[in-house]
């Protein structure tokens, strides 16, 4: 069972510190952790550091107690699968080939047939099999985001990191995408960390919430704990009320103070 | 079977059919290059029939000495060099566009042609060579050394500054202006005869072909193709931008620098053998992109084939335009290629699928 832990992580862009001594005790397999916080609070940088795209100035990232800093990018993607924020791509590639490339780029194991079967399975799971022969450049922003999701899931890795995977999706697809991520985390025993802006989505789909502000983790707990903590409203600079809806889900009501 | 599972099965079958159609397209491209090559052999002064040509090719001893000389010493080297150099330019352009993330890039974007021009001019004007023992190959050796050296300068600069496509293009442009100024300076200082030589060299010609050059060019093309083929998935992943490529395990900066060396080798070899031939390296990849998209498994080979076809067609036209005169290919490429290219752009909306 893979656990992900972060110890005293500090990251700077030039001389500007972006993460300051971030420590996160074990994130467990089979769980989804929502990474929340206002813009520029360090969410993306934390994900990029774990994924190996940004070298930390200090601190360690531990997988099962072992630091993973020394790995090459290709090795890292076998441990940690990261899907950055998706901007519209003009790639002249079919959806099938785009997901195939995601499996192959870091050197996928298995013959052509095995990999193609895996691509098919993930297209079905992300419900975009009907788009398989469409060109990426012809897809809508939301459809491209689903392709990115499939690219992130096609190659099995114990840790999954997603940066705002639902930002361009409509309501139904938001729910489907997060339910899928949760399902993958649960059934395949992965550690999933998802940066989100929508607190209600986080409340509904996350087991745990990390709230970041100015490069530090300021709250860590279940959605209920974090959203009822006054620090949450302060962090976003809003008046927050967390209520349970008639269906039993946690609803977040925010207003300007 | 559930709806989702059957859709997934469709996806795989669709991908298989697509691969088949694209393979057919590659085969058609290869046949087109063959046909153009044979036509190129059959074009030129000397009034040879295709029978004469085939006879001279198959049994040079039995053919008349005049036929054997025309075919083996004049037409075959030119026709072969057109195919090989066209393929080099098409492939170099495709990968330059990929690593610079810019469809307007070509093999000479980073100032390579200007640098080659300076190298050739230095040889023509001063007789100085980078290799002491260059002898009659002085101009070629100098052009290669300057073009490859220019690319390595870009390499070193971008290495120091973080190899993004933006810094690479900026350094390339700075270099291009520098070499253009040096080229103008050399032309200004040159005698009239030397000036004519420089201008003709820059216009490009296949007439300097020899079997030795073809062997070198083919070797370089083979090695470059192999090295690029090994990076096909990484290069395709670059189409999603640096960040997404990195998230897929591709180090975009390292790949960019590696591929720059390969592209520089292709372009410098091509420019040193035939002079500056624009258009092929820009449009060859565009033709391929229009037909098969940007999956490197199809894009790279088809860019190579369309470059080869284009330069082969250019060679034919340069000889056929008016009898007895061989026009510089640098002039002909665009004139031949543009109508074909425009017709493709106007009629085709998306790659074969």
Taking the C-alpha atoms of residue A218 and residue A203, their distance in angstroms, rounded to an integer, is: 17
Q: Is the predicted pLDDT of residue B349 greater than 70, yes or no?
A: no
Which residues in chain B have their CB less than 8 angstroms from residue A14's CB? Answer: none
Closest CA in chain A for residue B19: A97
CATH number of the domain encompassing residue A156: 3.40.50.300
CB B76 within 8 A of CB B214: no
pLDDT at site A27: 94
For A46-55, B248-257, B321-330, B335-344, which range has the lowest pLDDT when averaged over its residues?
A: B335-344
Which residues in chain A have their CB less than 8 angstroms from residue B8's CB? Answer: 120-121, 123-124, 129
pLDDT in tens, A56-67: 999 999 999 889
B283 lies in some domain: yes
Overall domain count for chain B: 1
B249: nearest CB among A106, A125, A130: A106
Overall domain count for chain A: 1
Range of the domain at A194: 4-255
Q: How many CB pairs under 8 A join A and B?
A: 123
A53: nearest CB among B237, B241, B243: B243
Q: Is the predicted pLDDT of residue B6 greater than 80, yes or no?
A: no
Range of the domain at B243: 3-347
Taking the C-alpha atoms of residue A99 and residue A155, their distance in angstroms, rounded to an integer, is: 9
Q: Do B236 and A121 touch (CB under 8 A)?
A: no
B353 lies in some domain: no
Query: What DSSP string describes B295-333?
Result: -HHHHHHHHHHHHHHHHHHHHHHHHHSBTTB---HHHHH
Both tokens of A48, joined, read: 């990029």
Taking the C-alpha atoms of residue B69 and residue A243, their distance in angstroms, rounded to an integer, is: 93
Q: Per-residue pLDDT averaged across A46-75, rounded?
A: 91
Chain B closest-CA separation from residue A53 CA (Å): 7
Which residues in chain A have their CB less than 8 angstroms from residue B353's CB? Answer: 94, 133, 135
Closest CA in chain B for residue A72: B249
B352 lies in some domain: no
Q: Is the predicted pLDDT of residue B134 greater than 80, yes or no?
A: no
Q: Is the predicted pLDDT of residue B156 greater than 70, yes or no?
A: yes
The DSSP output letter for B294 is T
Which residues in chain B have their CB less than 8 angstroms from residue A55's CB? Answer: none
Query: What DSSP string describes chain A?
Result: ---EEEEEEEEEETTEEEEEEEEEEEEPTTEEEEEE-STTSSHHHHHHHHHTSS--SEEEEEETTEE-TT--HHHHHHHEEEEPPP-------BHHHHHHHHHHTT---S-HHHHHHHHHHHHHHTT-GGGTTSBGGGS-HHHHHHHHHHHHHSS--SEEEEESTTTT--HHHHHHHHHHHHHHHHHHT-EEEEE-S-HHHHHHH-SEEEEEETTEEEEEE-HHHHHHSHHHHHHHTSEEEEEE-TTS-EEEEEE--
- ipTM for the predicted complex: 0.90
Q: Which residues of B touch A (CB under 8 A)?
A: 4-5, 7-12, 14-15, 18, 233-234, 236-237, 239-241, 243-251, 289, 293-295, 350-351, 353
Closest CA to B22 of B231, B283, B302: B302
Report the percentage of chain B scoring pLDDT > 70: 93
The DSSP output letter for B205 is -
Which residues in chain A have their CB less than 8 angstroms from residue B288's CB? Answer: none
pLDDT at site B93: 96
What does pTM read for this prediction? 0.91
pLDDT at site B1: 41
Coil, strand or helix at B141: helix
CATH number of the domain encompassing residue B249: 1.10.3470.10
Closest CA to B14 of A244, A100, A14, A212: A100
Q: Do A138 and B350 touch (CB under 8 A)?
A: yes
């Amino acid at each position: 069972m893979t656990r992900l832990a972060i110890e005293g992580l500090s990251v700077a862009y030039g001389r500007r510190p972006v993460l300051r001594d971030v420590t996160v005790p074990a994130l467990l397999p089979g769980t989804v952790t929502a990474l929340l916080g206002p813009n520029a609070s360090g969410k993306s940088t934390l994900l990029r550091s774990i994924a190996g795209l940004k070298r930390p100035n200090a601190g360690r990232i531990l997988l099962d107690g072992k630091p993973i800093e020394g790995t090459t990018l290709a090795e890292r993607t076998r441990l940690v699968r990261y899907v950055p924020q998706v901007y519209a791509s003009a790639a002249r590639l079919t959806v099938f080939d785009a997901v195939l490339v995601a499996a192959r780029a870091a050197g996928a194991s298995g013959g052509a047939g095995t990999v193609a079967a895996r691509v098919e399975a993930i297209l079905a799971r992300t419900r975009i099999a009907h788009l398989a022969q469409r060109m990426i450049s012809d897809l809508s922003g939301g459809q491209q985001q689903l392709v990115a999701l499939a690219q992130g899931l096609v190659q099995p890795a114990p840790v999954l990191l997603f940066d705002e995977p639902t930002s361009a999706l409509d309501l139904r697809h938001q729910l489907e995408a997060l339910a899928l991520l949760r399902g993958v985390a649960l059934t395949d025993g992965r550690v999933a960390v998802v940066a989100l802006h929508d607190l209600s989505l986080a409340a509904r789909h996350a087991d745990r919430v990390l709230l970041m502000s100015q490069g530090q983790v300021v709250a860590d707990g279940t959605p209920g704990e974090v959203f009822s903590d006054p620090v949450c409203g302060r962090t976003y600079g809003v008046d927050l009320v967390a209520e349970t809806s008639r269906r039993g889900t946690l609803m977040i009501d925010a207003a300007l103070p | 079977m559930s709806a989702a599972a059957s859709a997934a099965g469709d996806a795989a079958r669709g991908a298989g059919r697509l691969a088949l159609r694209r393979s057919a397209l590659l085969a058609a491209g290869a046949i087109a290059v063959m046909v153009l090559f044979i036509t190129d052999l059959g074009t030129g002064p000397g009034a040879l029939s295709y029978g004469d040509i085939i006879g001279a090719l198959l049994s040079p001893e039995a053919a008349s000495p005049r036929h054997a000389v025309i075919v083996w010493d004049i037409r075959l080297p030119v026709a072969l060099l057109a195919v090989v150099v066209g393929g080099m330019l098409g492939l170099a352009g495709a990968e330059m566009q990929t690593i610079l993330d810019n469809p307007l890039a070509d093999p000479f974007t980073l100032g390579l042609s200007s640098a080659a021009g300076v190298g050739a001019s230095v040889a023509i004007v001063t007789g100085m060579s980078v290799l002491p023992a260059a002898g009659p190959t002085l101009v070629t050796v100098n052009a290669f050394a300057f073009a490859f050296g220019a690319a390595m300068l870009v390499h070193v600069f971008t290495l120091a500054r973080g190899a993004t496509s933006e810094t690479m293009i900026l350094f390339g442009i700075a270099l291009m202006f520098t070499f253009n100024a040096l080229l103008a300076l050399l032309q200004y200082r040159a005698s009239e005869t030397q000036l004519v030589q420089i201008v003709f060299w820059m216009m490009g010609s296949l007439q300097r072909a020899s079997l030795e050059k073809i062997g070198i060019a083919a070797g370089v093309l083979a090695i470059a193709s192999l090295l690029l083929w090994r990076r096909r998935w990484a290069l395709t992943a670059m189409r999603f931008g640096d960040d997404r490529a990195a998230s897929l395990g591709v180090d975009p900066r390292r790949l960019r620098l590696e591929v720059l060396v390969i592209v520089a080798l292709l372009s410098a070899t091509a420019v040193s053998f035939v002079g500056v031939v624009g258009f092929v390296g820009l449009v060859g990849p565009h033709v391929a992109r229009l037909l098969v998209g940007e999956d490197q498994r199809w894009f790279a080979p088809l860019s190579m084939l369309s470059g080869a076809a284009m330069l082969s067609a250019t060679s034919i036209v340069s000889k056929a335009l008016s009898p007895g005169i061989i026009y510089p290919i640098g002039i002909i490429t665009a004139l031949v290629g543009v109508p074909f290219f425009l017709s493709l752009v106007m009629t085709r909306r998306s790659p074969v699928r």
